[in-house]
Chains A and B, each alone.
Chain A
């Protein structure tokens, strides 16, 4: 469709020209910087060059209102900065609030948001200093101060009412977080952790003003609150004093809940909304075939593993875990579950981390080897129960495909399909063989979430005391957390990774693509390796084409 549409090819050519201009500018500024010998001026001019590259296409129209269709939502919708759960909540939080720093859609290095910098104090990773961005304001006109940062951390970590982020930054020594200057906060940790900026740099760890009241939500995001009706829609308007000058382009942003996928797609086809997230794979051809609409496909680091408990029979025998990993026909699973919208994975997560070891051999289906491993473990003709639930798109289908593939190795998989209320009920994080879903993360932050004995979501019970290689894994992670030197840390992490690759409890068949769709009248959407739809839901970057 893009080739037959002259408008699109024009855009592409212009974009190319813009990119060339930007590249030239970069080269020149680099040269100037080299002459001047100042690295800070180089980065400053580089950023101005890249921001001028966009308007060079002459296509941005400032103003206008955009309605976006979000997946799901309902009465439990929230606008609280620290309690996002469902998709529309997450979309709201990305636009109203900002954390100290966050990974951009490209999943490149952390982008500084409310903070100007986030550095280890005195070259050690057990205490960090956050410097607040000069003059950054909340929607109510108040300047962000160290007190606000401290208040936000205390609110997230409130022991009586822990928020979403408590699971990722619980190791902050909250009693000793102190203001050290008019714009700096010292954040000491209970242990050294190089991964701290990533842990705190999550959308749900936003900075809110002292005395924050979710009924009158105030943040530093590009849009400010106008109205919110749970289960229906929320309306935001442009924050004129946003710290990124010139953004946002839109005047009004309306986020609309859609319980039904078909209704969401219909709203886009009928022109009632300008963009939707999570386009079902089955609908890609229809949207691509409709003039005036575009499909946005992003390769992500999102994964939906099968979780085998390493401390429960039959999976407590590592040979059973290995056999199960060899049962999976990954390319077939990508085809059947994701309609091809994904990449084969190798039982390891965090594919964008520099420590990701792509030299480890790709696992392929080997039913003979699987059978022989099961025989060695004394589990020939094994029968297991796999607990599955529609917690994420494709999860139940993946369970069905796995059950079918397992018959090839003489394994009978009984599927126990439960609703999400049951899945997250009293047996949550205790199922012997179940499934889960994860966002794109770097290796250390992901380990903190799911692979340590004290991780909040360790479904495999990996590295639990007494399990195989537990103490080795934990000590490697602790060592890596305290190692600021990148090369040395990567080496340590690779050993930890190889333990999980060889003996871990996850079966990770694939990384799934993120698929969204939007009207061709709009520009500024970028692919998101981060896995957050529509380019991190950053509607501050979105504009109507002039």
Chain B
């Protein structure tokens, strides 16, 4: 298992390196540069020239990349072209906000979906199961921004004013200190990912419940609760773990849309803005972080899968 982990880690690092090259090349392919983007309508030749000099944008492309890479290895993500402050300082607070949002959503969505999946599987083909099936299918078909806007209409603007419509987290404040501002965006993410995980859980649970050993367990006279939670769920959960990991990784990137709808001060807005500004250090840092989340989450899912699957767990011995 240790060699497996090391191998996976090495591949992960290689992936990140490739991502950084691709993202860098993509930002170079974008027309215009940071100076033009920052000046906008005022991009007269004199001012573009002055700002290009100030931002050191006239260096050769390869030199820009290698000096950036050198910085990353030593933990320095560079200086944001748009704000002129270190990237770590600019994205630090936002990263914490987005991380909190994703973790809270995952902490709610994953157990909820698994419970829901089990609940549906046990009531297979009964009205409750059908109702939930239709509901989750409907939710899965809706894009996040529709869910978000619907929640805003229901809870913040038109029907009631229970929760804030947009997440105005004051700068310097952390999301976890102002939980009210996080409820709606988190709820949106939960509603967006729950259908996928719960439907997978239901499908694999249905399959397991039909298997011989479950019938055997029932014939032995074990209680329903024991049959479901001790014998069926541990065998049905592997696909749900895999899909949870995918959803978690998806949230790390998909959080962009939700942050947009709620003006949530996270990395999503910073990434969109960074691309618009041609702010390469910021785009690079965020792309790298999101890619790292993908790599790590998938690695974790594999580890958990191994741990819950005795056949795999003992394979190396």
Contact = CB atoms under 8 A, between A and B. Distances in A.
B83 A75 contact: yes
Nearest to A67: B168
Interface stretch (B35-43, B58-66, B196-204, B212-220): B35-43
A428 B263 contact: no
A75 B274 contact: yes
A77 B269 CA distance: 14
A134 interface: no
Nearest to A73: B273
A371 B107 CA distance: 67
A36 interface: no
B166 A272 contact: yes
Contacts of A475: none
Contact of A270 (B157, B269, B282): B157
B119 interface: no
Contact of A421 (B31, B82, B262, B265): B31
Given A86-B40, A233-B170, A263-B262, A162 B47 contact: yes
Interface string A40-68: 00000000000000000000000000010
Contacts of B282: 75
Contacts of A77: 83
Given A160-B50, A164-B42, A263-B166, A270 B278 contact: no
Given A75-B270, A424-B40, A428-B43, A270 B165 contact: yes
Contacts of B38: 76, 85
Interface stretch (A254-262, A305-313, A462-470, A488-496): A254-262
Interface stretch (A224-232, A353-361, A372-380): A224-232
A15 interface: no
A456 interface: yes
Given A74-B273, A260-B261, A262-B261, A456 B171 contact: no
Interface in A207-255: 227, 229-233
B17 interface: no
Contacts of A420: 37, 40, 276
Contacts of B31: 418-419, 421-422, 425
A359 to B, nearest CB: 33
A485 interface: no
B277 A263 contact: no
Interface string B70-84: 000000000010110
Contact of A74 (B42, B82, B149): B82
B5 interface: no
A3 interface: no
Nearest to B53: A160
B32 interface: yes
Contacts of A457: 41, 44
A267 B170 contact: no
A470 B161 CA distance: 61
Contact of B168 (A164, A259, A272): A272
Given A270-B157, A270-B165, A263 B261 contact: yes
Contact of A85 (B39, B50, B157): B39
A270 B165 CA distance: 6
A424 B37 CA distance: 7
A271 interface: yes
Contacts of A257: 263
Contacts, number: 135
Interface in A416-440: 418-422, 424-425, 428, 437
A266 interface: yes
A315 B240 CA distance: 64
Contacts of B269: 74, 231, 259
B197 to A, nearest CB: 28
A271 B263 contact: no
A160 B170 CA distance: 36
Contacts of A272: 164-166, 168
B262 A167 contact: no
Contacts of A91: none
Given A260-B261, A421-B31, A266 B166 contact: yes
A421 B30 contact: yes
Interface residues of A, number: 45
B164 A270 contact: yes
A527 B89 CA distance: 41
B37 A76 contact: yes
A326 interface: no
Nearest to A437: B41
A115 interface: no
B112 to A, nearest CB: 26
B277 to A, nearest CB: 5
B317 to A, nearest CB: 53
Contacts of B144: none
A314 to B, nearest CB: 26
Contacts of B41: 85, 391, 424, 437, 457
A259 B40 CA distance: 16
A147 B16 CA distance: 55
B90 interface: yes
B54 interface: yes
B260 A232 contact: no
B161 A270 contact: yes
B208 to A, nearest CB: 44
Contacts of A258: 166, 263
Interface in A261-309: 262-264, 266-267, 269-272
B46 interface: yes
A257 B276 CA distance: 16
Nearest to A231: B273
A421 B278 contact: yes
B152 interface: yes
Interface in B156-208: 156-158, 161, 164-166, 168, 170-172
B262 A232 contact: no
Contact of B36 (A162, A227, A424): A424
Contacts of B172: 229
Contacts of B36: 421, 424-425, 428
A75 B272 CA distance: 10
Contacts of A67: 168
Given A85-B39, A162-B47, A266-B152, A75 B263 contact: no
Contacts of A256: 168, 263
Contact of A266 (B90, B157, B260): B157
B263 A267 contact: yes
B43 A424 contact: yes
Contact of A267 (B83, B165, B276): B165
B99 to A, nearest CB: 17
Contacts of B47: 162, 166
B39 A424 contact: yes
5 contacts: A85-B38, A229-B171, A262-B261, A271-B161, A391-B41
Given A75-B282, A424-B36, A428-B43, 8 more contacts: A74-B276, A75-B270, A229-B172, A272-B165, A391-B41, A418-B31, A421-B32, A421-B278
- Nearest 4 Cβ contacts at the A-B interface: A270-B165, A421-B32, A229-B171, A74-B273
